[in-house]
Structure 1
Amino acid sequence: MGAQQVREGFTELYGTAPEGVWAAPGRVNVIGEYTDFNEGFVMPLALPHTAVAAVSRRTDCVLRLHSADIDGPIVELHVDELRPLTDTSWAAYPAGVVWVLRQAGHAITGADLHLSSTVPTGAGLSSSAALEVVTALALNDLYDLGLTRPELARLAQRAENDFVGVPCGVMDQTASACCIEGHALHLDCRDLSIRQIPFDLASQGLALLVVDTRVKHALGDGAYAERREGCEKGARQLGVSHLRDVPYDDLDRALGRLSDERVRRYVRHVVSDDHRVEQVVGLLDAGEVRAIGPVLTQGHVSLRDDLRISCPELDLVVDTANASGALGARMTGGGFGGSAVVLVEASGADTITKAIDEAFAAAGYTAPRVFPAVPSAGARRLS
């Protein structure tokens, strides 16, 4: 749904035109999974798919929320009565942003929001972060808070951590807030420093496909939190604050100090995936774009075997794509379903897409959704 439709929907709902319309994208992560909360490195890019919000301020401390994508009435809340971990609906994401801003001392006195999103839900493409960031940017602008994009990302992360109750890292929100068109974002999750890496695949005759398996995942179901706990346990046992501090060259020695097989697998994945991010950045800097393909596939093997967050559908995408001529492929996002990314020669994209479709049909799986990941702009005001 475009900006004009969302604007018109707001006017129809609330009886007056909104003060503005904003958009924030979903993201796909090229490399670096479960490294963000370990203060490591990630490299996402923003998708063209966005959450769009028409918003106006209120002065009576009422927060009204409506989604064009979900059947249901306007959700009406009072900003003084927002409580963490009490709402499991979509409305918790924008409400959580309001709660976090007020907790940080910003005088948010209410708002009316009408939202619509084209970011696929449950696909590992950060539909929730898009909702959070578009709300944060709109309120930042309307209330003249003066917050920077990285600050908005951190606040949006707090909304998901503390209000919704999902212990995610800061990658998704930073990608949504800070990405720029035609680039991937190299993010250091320790100091939140960012570097925009040119990622113009089309000029190289390449494409990055997103394959949404349509297997829904829910990060609030405990599996994500269990892996985070295991990573934190590994860091404690190795005497470091975060697994980011375990040098890749010392990985074997570090693993030898861990007696818990589960923790050992998690540590191996995180330290090696941090290294893979650095490999990909180095290859892109050198202009060796095709050479990142095998690194992506190595990342999938680690996610499948060490972190154990893949699923048969994701494995089928990766195996079929690589057997059909892809340069590399891996699952992306939180896992247990969701999406994979596949690096292909643009001329072979249709052939590989067809092979994946046929493999899913032969396995009796629901047909996947396949689309190109075009590096797009981060959050912005539309009108």
Structure 2
Amino acid sequence: MSEGVWAAPGRVNLIGEHTDYNDGFVMPFALPHTTVASAARRDDGVLRLHSADVPGGAVELRVHDLAPGRGPGGWTGYPAGVMWALRDAGHAVGGADFHYESTVPAGAGLSSSAALEVVTALALSDLYELGLERGRMARLCQRAENVYVGAPTGIMDQTASACCTAGHALHLDTRDLSQRQIPFDLAALGLELLVVDTRVKHAHSEGEYGKRRAGCEAGAAALGVSALRDVLYADLPAALSRLDDPEVRALVRHVVTENHRVKRVIALLEAGEVDAIGPVLTEGHVSLRDDFRVSCPELDLVVEASLSAGALGARMTGGGFGGSAIVLTHTSTSTTLKKSLLDAFAPTPYAEPRIFPATPSPGARRVS
């Protein structure tokens, strides 16, 4: 029998891509799409995991046996990793029953894995009265994904799922983990942000994401800084001239200019010039496409077709290699823009994209 129900959202990153593992700035907000967990304690040391969204029955694991490199694989690795991370950090957590249901599109670059991790951590914190602070919870979930699952993700996704608030974007400094909630009420200004899920799946833990991270670390080492966050935008030309590897040079250029774009978006939002962030979003896509090389033809088509149809700006969001794009548009032209996007995809071999509005929503919470 369930002792409670918890929910944690997916996220969209407005700006600040591939900066989080470089000690940089990010600006996500929570989606209304959530992973919901019904959970209860067990006294037999078993972690029982079941998902309404995955074929097959429940998976049962002994919590004392959980360790990196010892399974399980697939989706169950994320909640198992959270259990391991909590116990490894010294928290007195025993067995538990979990049943999950999710509306966060998997593989769409919207942090379905972070939502699964955070809802598990929040439920366990409440069930076992751990009193985990939200930032600490996010760090433990990141450790679960990095060490247990083996995906070298930064801290943004878990922090967004745990800490975002409705009607705001979260400005997160990933070096000191300081946060600011930036008002982001598009509807009041006659604007809308659309998420366009290309339905192209990615797998960050299978190589390409890790290569980009290693390249960024190589660039920082070559420049004698602890992280690319320390390269100032004004000093970028001089820094690039010191890098011999063209691929590393391109990665560094993206990270430094992307941190600068986050600052520009914050300044525009605080000045009330929300529609002016559109071109900054588009600049971010060009940088991700050309310098970081994490876009794909479907994402590029979304951006090109959206701009041709009058969008204020558009870019891929998330880690890349598929997933979703975001499009900023006037609410009055949203319907026409959606049709233009579908028309652009119709003659191609690509799957029809899923399009929905992104409303800044609350972070993880107990539902009942």
Residue 60 of structure 1 deviates from its aligned partner by: 1.7
The amino acid of 2:7's aligned partner reads A
Q: Does 1:301 align with 2:286?
A: yes
SS at match of 1:275: helix
Q: Hey, what's the Cα distance between the residues in 1 that align with 2:178 and 2:277?
A: 23
Equivalent residue number for residue 149 of structure 2: 164
Give the aligned CA root-mean-square deviation in angstroms. Answer: 0.6
The amino acid of 2:259's aligned partner reads D
Q: Hey, what's the Cα distance between the residues in 2 that align with 1:364 and 1:133?
A: 36
Measured against aligned partners, the alpha-carbon deviations of 1:1-53 in whole angstroms (never above 9, x if no partner) come to xxxxxxxxxxxxxxxx2110000000010000000000100000000000000
Q: Hey, what's the Cα distance between the residues in 2 that align with 1:249 and 1:73?
A: 56
Q: Does 1:209 align with 2:194?
A: yes
Q: Hey, what's the Cα distance between the residues in 2 that align with 1:59 and 1:107?
A: 12
> Percent of pairs identical after alignment?
68
Q: TM-score, normalised by structure 2?
A: 0.99
Between 128-137 and 357-366, the greater mean CA deviation after superposition: 357-366
Match of 1:148 among 115, 133, 147: 133
Q: Hey, what's the Cα distance between the residues in 1 that align with 2:67 and 2:122?
A: 22
Equivalent residue number for residue 4 of structure 1: none
SS at match of 1:309: coil
Q: Does 1:130 align with 2:119?
A: no
Measured against aligned partners, the alpha-carbon deviations of 1:50-105 in whole angstroms (never above 9, x if no partner) come to 00000111122111000010111110000011121333210000000000000000
Q: Hey, what's the Cα distance between the residues in 1 that align with 2:253 and 2:347?
A: 34
Q: Hey, what's the Cα distance between the residues in 2 that align with 1:115 and 1:364?
A: 34
Unaligned ranges ≥5, structure 1: 1-16
Equivalent residue number for residue 6 of structure 1: none
Equivalent residue number for residue 336 of structure 1: 321
Q: Hey, what's the Cα distance between the residues in 2 that align with 1:252 and 1:140?
A: 47
* 1:172-191 matched pairs, under 5 angstroms: 172-191=157-176
Match of 2:298 among 313, 324, 342: 313
The amino acid of 2:102's aligned partner reads S
Between 158-167 and 55-64, the greater mean CA deviation after superposition: 55-64
The amino acid of 2:2's aligned partner reads P
Equivalent residue number for residue 77 of structure 1: 61
SS at match of 2:291: helix
Equivalent residue number for residue 239 of structure 2: 254
Q: Hey, what's the Cα distance between the residues in 2 that align with 1:97 and 1:158?
A: 8
Equivalent residue number for residue 12 of structure 2: 28
Residue 364 of structure 1 deviates from its aligned partner by: 2.5
SS at match of 2:274: coil
Q: TM-score, normalised by structure 1?
A: 0.95
Equivalent residue number for residue 28 of structure 2: 44
Equivalent residue number for residue 193 of structure 1: 178
Residue 147 of structure 1 deviates from its aligned partner by: 1.2
Q: Hey, what's the Cα distance between the residues in 1 that align with 2:244 and 2:350?
A: 39
Match of 1:234 among 205, 219, 227: 219
Unaligned ranges ≥5, structure 2: none
Q: Hey, what's the Cα distance between the residues in 1 that align with 2:106 and 2:217?
A: 28
Q: How many residues align?
A: 367
Residue 109 of structure 1 deviates from its aligned partner by: 1.1
Match of 1:376 among 348, 361, 366: 361
Measured against aligned partners, the alpha-carbon deviations of 1:196-223 in whole angstroms (never above 9, x if no partner) come to 0000000000000000000111111100
SS at match of 1:236: helix
* 1:348-359 matched pairs, under 5 angstroms: 348-359=333-344
Q: Does 1:104 align with 2:113?
A: no
Equivalent residue number for residue 57 of structure 1: 41
Measured against aligned partners, the alpha-carbon deviations of 1:221-279 in whole angstroms (never above 9, x if no partner) come to 10000000000000000000000000000001000000001100000000000000000
Residue 110 of structure 1 deviates from its aligned partner by: 0.8
Q: Hey, what's the Cα distance between the residues in 2 that align with 1:322 and 1:82?
A: 49
Measured against aligned partners, the alpha-carbon deviations of 1:113-134 in whole angstroms (never above 9, x if no partner) come to 0001100000000000000000
Equivalent residue number for residue 287 of structure 1: 272
Q: Hey, what's the Cα distance between the residues in 2 that align with 1:362 and 1:196?
A: 42
Q: Hey, what's the Cα distance between the residues in 2 that align with 1:322 and 1:244?
A: 31
Residue 318 of structure 1 deviates from its aligned partner by: 0.2
SS at match of 2:75: coil
Q: Hey, what's the Cα distance between the residues in 1 that align with 2:313 and 2:177?
A: 28
The amino acid of 2:117's aligned partner reads E
Match of 1:95 among 74, 80, 85: 80
The amino acid of 1:328's aligned partner reads G
Residue 141 of structure 1 deviates from its aligned partner by: 0.8
Measured against aligned partners, the alpha-carbon deviations of 1:140-179 in whole angstroms (never above 9, x if no partner) come to 1111112100100000000100000000000000000000
